[in-house]
Chain A
Amino acid sequence: MSASQPTAEAHTALAAQWRPPPLIASPVLRWSLILGGLAWLVAALVFMEINWARAAEGWARGVRFMAAFLPPDFISKSDDIAEGLLESVTMTVVSTVLGLALSVPVAVGAARNLAPRPIYLACRSILVVSRTFQEVLVAILFVAMFGFGPLAGTLTLAFATVGFVGKLLAEDIEATDPAQLEAMRATGGSWLQALTWGILPQVKPRLLGLSLYRVDINFRESAVLGIVGAGGIGATLNTSLDRYEFDTAAAILLLIILIVMACEYASGVIRKAAL
């Protein structure tokens, strides 16, 4: 038996020793991350003030809330629910259309390959501000400015749409094939013509997908803006929870889930039909 031919036992021993390579290659970085993470976890759990007595009391309420789902009460507050839902849906439609109309020019301005530097920076900063603040924070300010009601909520959602669609669309515009733009310019097309025939066809599928996705998000968000007085189904939900009317709250939650699922299904159908 030669030295270069290990025995079967040695083979299995070697195989048993093998370990997959770790996700983070550097051992120093890996261990400092692990230890730092553990230290943070302990600190976070120690400093978090939890009222366990109150939490334990919650079990009974939790059970009552779950029981309210069978059956949920669609009837006794049906007027309020219908009004809230209608408001949410109208807010969704207007804010998505308005947001898209505004986000296309911002996206063009925020695309490095189309806009001159000052415009690029201005549009990028609009996108950053819009994406940083949670919708509800913006809604608080808009309610203070425009007064209570669905208009404040609609403007909030339109503003958030600009940040979301604008950023992703700008990235897509930057990734387009420059040859088509070049070709349009070579035929003597104006800047606007180059945009509609050189860039738009390339980003159209993405634009459609983003718009449909944003309809979804805007509806979900419109359901919370009512909490700060910006209109929509959230106000109805908030009231029903404040009054411990769990069966009405359950009905509203089920309706929200159903509408979101319907939106997702519809956007799948539209995407397939249009592309």
Chain B
Amino acid sequence: MPSLPSSGVEASIWRRRSVKGDLLAWGAWLVVVLATMLSFRTISDATIWDFVWDAPTQGADLLARAVPPRWEYAGVLWKPLWDTVNMASLGTLVAMALGVPVAVLAARNTTPSVTLVRPLALLVIVASRSINSLIWALLLVVIIGPGPLAGTIAIALRSVGFVGKLLYEAIEEIDRAQVEATEATGASPAQVLAWSIAPQVAPTIAGIGVFRWDINIREATVLGLVGAGGIGLQLEASVATLAWPQVSVILLLILATVIVSEWVSAQVRRAIT
């Protein structure tokens, strides 16, 4: 039988992995299961389980109190909602203004110095990305006082890293040929940036901006919880006074806003790609 492998029976038993691979995979699963169980025990120790078993009743109770929504409360909410959208939009604008230069400094092919400037730009990106906008807001409310200014800056600081990271990766993936062509005409580095790199990443910049704006609308709805302006302030007040019919109005309004912003973002992204 010439078509069968000569090594005989052993080769005919198909295995997905080598023995070592099997051991590694099982070991990885063991670690995951152990870590989960240990972690769950810590959480369980810090939990009052009587409250948890009571949760279905509490949930039903909450729902019963929240319906029907107090629609007339919506009249008070338009200004905070306007503030929320503005914090998200202005914050995104500032983040774009700061994030684009940071991305240019961080991209391997455009940075003035790979050893000096690039690590600094990357550090800015990591620090900005690691810290949630709510934490930035917490800091800024203490530093510059409560209000939408703190919220706007918080949104901007969180978004710089996001814009910077996505854009510098896009800049590193551009087509070299255009850069070379522009350089061959004797263009200065600034001219190369303007005439061969900027046109290639312009749609990406617009896409990143709209994408982040969409995320920021969501984030801006909660910044009021720590005093940074927007609709979260009303939410905090309503939850604190157990005014659940108002909470349901606020949540429905947020739902509508988020759906509209997601639709706008999807339309714009479809138009430019």
Contacts and interface: CB of A to CB of B under 8 A. Distances in A.
Interface string B188-211: 000000010001001100100000
Size category, A interface = 35 or more
A147 B51 contact: yes
A106 to B, nearest CB: 19
Contacts of B38: 90
B144 A23 contact: no
A234 to B, nearest CB: 7
Contact of A145 (B48, B62, B135, B221): B62
A86 interface: yes
Given A61-B142, A149-B46, A227 B39 contact: no
A3 interface: no
A224 B148 CA distance: 19
Nearest to B79: A47
A108 interface: no
B58 A228 contact: no
A55 B145 contact: yes
Interface in B134-153: 134-135, 138-139, 142-145, 147-149, 152
A134 B221 contact: yes
B172 interface: no
A154 B199 CA distance: 44
A40 B48 CA distance: 49
A198 interface: no
Contact of B145 (A58, A90, A134, A220): A58
Given A134-B221, A256-B130, A48 B86 contact: yes
A65 B219 CA distance: 24
B244 to A, nearest CB: 9
A122 B218 CA distance: 23
Contact of A44 (B89, B145, B203, B222): B89
Interface stretch (A91-99, A110-118, A173-181): A91-99
A275 to B, nearest CB: 13
User: Which secondary structure dominates where chain A touches chain B?
Assistant: helix
A23 B203 contact: yes
Given A57-B145, A241-B139, A151 B132 contact: no
Nearest to A141: B62
Interface in B234-264: 235, 239, 251, 254-255, 258-259
A48 B52 contact: no
B83 A48 contact: yes
A244 B90 CA distance: 28
Interface in A138-190: 140-141, 144-147, 149-151, 154
Nearest to B83: A48
A49 B142 contact: no
Nearest to B257: A132
Specify which of A93, A141, A234 lies most central, judged by the most chain B CB atoms within 10 Å of its CB: A93
A137 B38 CA distance: 28
A27 B55 CA distance: 57
A80 B40 CA distance: 20
Contacts of A151: 43-44, 46-47, 52
A237 B40 contact: no
A260 B62 contact: no
Contact of B52 (A49, A57, A87, A147): A147
Contact of A51 (B46, B86, B147, B255): B147
3 smallest A-B Cβ distances: which pairs?
A147-B51, A58-B144, A90-B39
12 contacts: A20-B195, A87-B42, A91-B43, A144-B58, A147-B52, A149-B43, A150-B47, A151-B44, A220-B131, A231-B46, A257-B126, A260-B129
